[in-house]
Every structure is written in structure tokens, then in C-alpha cells.
Structure 1
Amino acid sequence: MAEKVHPGVDSPPHLPPPQSKHAAAPGSTYVIQLPKDQIYRRPPPENAERMKKLAKTNRRRSNRLCRCLGYTLAAAILLLILLGIAAAVFYFVYKPESPKYTVDSIAITGFNLSSSRPMSPEFDVSISANNPNDKIGIYYEKKSSVQVYYSDDRLSAGVLPVFYQPVNNVTVFKTALRGNNIVLSRADHSELLTAQTEKKVPLKLNLKAPIKIKVGGVKTWTINVKVKCDLTVDSLTAKSKIVSKHCDYSVKLW
């Protein structure tokens, strides 16, 4: 059975609900604090106008730069086309051919392989230069060089004569190459003795010739011609004969 509440007995008082610590009294002001990175400011109108003008200026500059680059690229392409046309016209009109070189003979003195003392070998080399062009002459300039090697040892060096070679011409010139106080390593000395006994002495001749081409009345800039010849001679004497030879050449236009 339910218990009855008798009158006169004090009932527990009704307590008001607990108030929040942050609750403010009526009529008070709220203060809200935000972090600085969450505070947004609205820029003044004049700043927006300034940004628009700046953007327009940047676009104009970008357009100018693009136009300038476009003009430069177009000019470069046009120049290449014109150069290509000029080169094609030059080739079909003059039909240029590279000069050809070969070693005709070589006389050797100053070798004494029976001793280990320093040597001063001398090479008298006869070289043929062939200009097969019908309308192009060749000027051989100063600062040329001709060198003879055995293995990696340079035996002698000299220069080419300065001369002009006309069209359709074969010029044979002799050049004297000299070496001074050449000392071979023990291994090279032994190999050279064996090669001479077998009458197969391998030599290398390197030639560098600065030339200028004459086309009509016009003379070009200096062009470097390089020739590398692998030679085999039967002896290291004044009566040596060339057993075999092979020459490669290259032309450097600039």
C-alpha cells in the first residue's frame, strides 16, 4: 500500500536549478574573446579598386612579354629558314667537296735503338692535298701543326707551309718534322725494336690545318681541318717505305 503524506509534516523544500557560472544577470553585456587568426576584417573599398588596377597592369605586362617572346621566336625561325635557303643555294651552285689528304712518303733519320740515350729523330714527310672543287679555292693559314707519334710518345713536330691552293688542284708539299731529346720507355723501346725487326713499325701522323675558303671574291672565316693517319713503315731509316696507310679527316666550321 502507498504511504500517505500526513499534513503537518514538512516536505523537502523545492531548490532552484543550479545556475551556470557563465550565466549573466539580466541586462548585462556579453564579452566573447576569439583567437586572432579567426578575426576577419573587411578591407576598405579603395583597396579593392587598387587591386583591380594592379591586376589589369599585370595582365598588360604579361601580354607584352608574350608578344615580345612571340616576335623573337618568329624572327629566329625566319632567320633559320633564310640560312637554310642560303645554304641550299650555295650547295647547288658551288657543290662544295671536302679536301682530301694522303701521306705519299716518309724519310726517317736520327733513330738509334741500340742505345737507351735520348734521341732527336727527324721525319721528312711528303703530303698530298687534293682540292676537288671547281669553284672554291683554299688558303692555308699560319698556326698549323704536324706531329708524328709512336704509341703515346710524340717523336717529332712541325708545321705546314702557308700557301693558296686553286680549284681542281693537287698540291704535294714536304714538311720537315723534328724531335729533340726523345726518351722512350723501356717497354716502347723493346716493342719498337721488335716492330723494326718484323718490318712493321706503326706510326701515327696528326695534322691540323687552319684554312679559309675563297668563293668568288669572298674569303670565309677560319675553318680547322684535322687529319689523322695510321701509317706502317718497314724501317726507321731514310729509305723507309710505307707498307700501309689510312687517313681520316674532320672539318670544324666554327
Structure 2
Amino acid sequence: MTVEKPQEMTGDTNSGGYVTHKDVHRIKHPSIDTNDSSSSRYSVDSQKPRIGPPPGTYIINLPKDQIYRVPPPENARRYENLSRRKTNQSNCRRCFCHFLAALLILLFLAALAVGILYLVYQPHKPRFSVSGVSVTGINLTSSSPLSPVIGIKVRSQNVNEKLGLIYEKGNEADVFYGGIKLGNGKFTAFKQPADNVTVIVTVLKGSSIQLTSSSRKELTESQKKGKVPFGLRMKAPVQFKVGEVTTWTMTVTVDCKIKVDKLTASATVITENCDTGLSLL
């Protein structure tokens, strides 16, 4: 920064066009009394030390780069980084909004398709019943552990007139007596056309089943009465099929209460009652 003190210019402003220093903007020094009418207008007491630059009018020149460089370089870089960060955040927010909108649209279309499928085809869950049971490996005259082998014949009925069923792999079946699991197994995956009845045969096996003395006594008494109760539980993944189109995989659960007359391979089913459930997920 440079400070220039202009020279006083005299002359008649009306005739010569000169500019007197009275017409120039002054920077007043605090030690100068500008209202003093004495002849030494800009003089100060000679006994007092002079403080600061001599009195007069000054012109201050600033470099252009200090005037127009706003903001400074470090602030400009910070502003640029902040602007870029805001742009990235805006892009991420926009992408998330688009994804959420697309997901909502897909869910709406899926719900609409399910609604149309239900109204047009009116799907119903299948029905199950137990038509045969054979029992081996249960000896109640000994206290040794049991290794039962129980054959189950299940009748599956597809009551839908327009929808086929596809029973996939991953199914399971368990047989119980008084809350004690006697055996477990699987049945073969199969396809069932509309309005069809299919008989499923599976063998459920157990190993080293230890019955309590009370359970063994109750089982013996039930066989003497000719009414031995069993529980059968099955679970299978299934899909509905319309032409070449299949739905997503659902889950069928079957809980049956069975009574047989004896614990032999030629046992007869006296009563049975199966409750079927269908989970959409």
C-alpha cells in the first residue's frame, strides 16, 4: 500500500481550471484544529513532539488483487469443497428417492396382481387326511429304548378348479405321542393338477426313543382299549400354478390327530382330523 501526498495547486478555478487543495478530500489529523482561523492553520505547538505523518491530504492506493479477490483463495477452495459436498448429497438423496418410488410401485403392482389373481381364480388351500398307518419297532413289554418305524399314507386334495399346485423339496413330517417325538422324515416333491387327489406315502423313523414309565403305561393301556392316539405334523413349501405362470413360494402346514386300533403293521385308522394352514410368506 502506497500513500501519496498531492502537491498543492494554485490558481483561479474559474479562469485557469486549476483545482485547489480545498477541493480535495482531506484526511484530518487529530492534532489539527481545522476551525483555527490563525495564519498557521496547519501548524502545531513546536514544543510538542509530532505524532504520526505530517498533516495534509492523502490518497491511498490499494492493489487491485486485494480489492477484487473476494473471497481469498483459501475461502474459495473451502466454498468449492462445500459446494461439491452439497451436490453429492443432493445426488444421493435423489437416487434414494427414485429407489423408494420404484420399490413402492413394484409393491403396488404385486399387490394388484395378487388381488386380480384372487378375484379371478379364488385360490383355496388344499385339504389333507390320513388314510393309513403302519407301526413297527414299538415293543412295550421291554423297558429298552424304542426305534419305531411308522408308515403314513396321506391323501392330498387340490380343491382349486383352475389352479395347480407344486409341492417343492424341503418338506418335513414328524409323528408324536403325548408330546414325545417318535419319528420324522420327508415325502417326495410332486406336482398336483387342478381338482386332483394325490396319495402321499412316507416313512417316519425314530432311534433310541426312551419313554418314561408313565408314558409306557399309558401307551399300553391305549393299545388294550384299541385307541392309540398319535399326532402328525407336516410342513411343505408350495406354489400355485396357472398355465406356465407360478406364484411365489408359500408354506402349507398340516396338523393331524390320529387314533389307530393297535401298534402293528396292520393297524387301522379309527379316527383322524387334519387342520391345514397356508402362509403367504
State the TM-score, normalized to the length of structure 1: 0.68
In structure 1, the residue matched to 2:77 is: 50
Cα pair distance change 1:182/1:69, threshold 3 Å: closer
Q: Does the Cα contact within 8 Å between 2:261 and 2:267 map onto a contact in 1? A: no
Q: Secondary structure in 2 aligned to 1:49?
A: helix
Corresponding residue of 2:136: 109
- Corresponding pairs, count: 213
In structure 2, the partner of 1:72 is 99
1:204-243 mapped onto 2 (5 Å cutoff):
204-219=231-246, 222-237=249-264, 238-243=266-271
Cα distance in 2 between the residues matched to 1:59 and 1:123:
69
**Structure 1 SS opposite 2:135:** strand
Runs of 5+ in structure 1 lacking a partner? 1-26, 28-43
Q: Deviations over 1:30-56 (max 9, x none)?
A: xxxxxxxxxxxxxx9433333333333
CA contact (8 A) 2:177 2:231 kept: yes
Deviation at 1:81, TM superposition (A): 1.6
Counterpart residue type for residue 54 of structure 1: N
Deviation of 1:205 after TM superposition, in Å, equals: 0.8
Deviation at 1:185, TM superposition (A): 2.8
Quick one: which amino acid aligns to residue 103 of structure 2? A
Structure 2, unmatched stretches of 5+, are: 1-48, 50-70
Q: Does 2:220 align with 1:187?
A: no
Aligned residue identity for 1:236: L
**CA contact 1:205–1:230 (8 Å) conserved in 2:** yes
Q: Write the mapping of 1:91-170 to structure 2, written as runs, cut at 5 A.
A: 91-170=118-197
Calculate the TM-score normalised by the size of structure 2.
Answer: 0.62
TM-superposed CA distance for 1:91, in Å, is 2.1
C-alpha separation in 1, matches of 2:190 and 2:78: 73
Structure showing greater Rg? 2
Offset, 1:95: 2.1
- For residues 92 and 203 of structure 1, the distance between their equivalents in structure 2, rounded to whole angstroms, comes to 39
Task: Quickly say closer, same or farther: Cα 1:143–1:45, change in 2 above 3 A.
Answer: closer
Q: 2:114 is matched with which residue: 87, 99, 104? A: 87
Q: Distance in 2 between matches of 1:53 and 1:181?
A: 76
Amino acid of the structure 2 residue aligned with 1:192: L
Give the superposition deviation at 1:222: 5.0
Amino acid at match of 2:114: A
Q: Is the 8 A contact 1:108 1:240 kept in 2?
A: no
1:72 aligned partner, one-letter code: F
SS at match of 2:263: coil
Q: CA deviation at 1:181?
A: 4.3
Cα distance between partner residues in 1 of 2:169 and 2:103: 35
Q: Secondary structure at the match of 1:191?
A: helix
Of 171, 193, 201 in structure 2, the residue corresponding to residue 174 of structure 1 is 201
Shift of the 72–228 alpha-carbon distance from structure 1 to 2, 3 Å rule, reads same
RMSD between aligned residues: 3.2
Pick closer, same or farther for the CA change 1:164–1:54 going to 2, 3 Å. closer
Change (3 A) 1:143 1:77: closer
In the TM superposition, residue 168 of structure 1 has moved relative to its aligned partner by: 0.6
Retained in 1: the 8 A contact 2:125–2:278?
Answer: no
Give the corresponding residue for 1:38: none
Amino acid at match of 1:188: S
Q: 1:245 aligns with which of 248, 273, 279?
A: 273
> How many angstroms does 1:206 deviate by?
1.7
